[in-house]
Amino acid sequence: MAAHRRTDTSSDQLWDEFHRYVNVTSEQLRDWLLTEASGEQAFVGPGTDLPQPGGAVLAVLGKRRGDLTSSDRQVMAQVVDEIRGLLERRPPAGAADDRWRRALLDLGHDPLRADADTAG
């Protein structure tokens, strides 16, 4: 039987909270980040660095809970705080406010998803 590494309760809570707030898939986030990085006239090819902090979010999404580093946990906590803050400062136009929506999408949160309001 394979040995399972136990994680502490706070790490489990952070993991769950991160995955509640980051409500897009890895593929959706990667596509969004590549679109943002390419601009209108740039070419984005293999090996292109993804914009941050989205690239860091994508790296965390690609890991299993037991493989997280302290840096990953720091990224997760910062992203949860940033998304929470943006949601608390929802502009009057809501998701129609392009700058606000893009800021959330850069972090892996799509406010247009049906479950977007359940994050908090």
Residues of the chain predicted below pLDDT 70: 1-7, 37-51, 115-120
Q: Identify the pLDDT of residue 1.
A: 40
CA angle at 45 for the pair 39 and 47, rounded to the nearest 5°: 115
This prediction has a pTM of 0.80
Asked if 21 contacts 104 with a C-beta cutoff of 8 angstroms, the reply is: no
Place of tokens 């790296």: 59
Dist CA 110 CA 95 (whole Å): 9
What pLDDT shows up at residue 3? 41
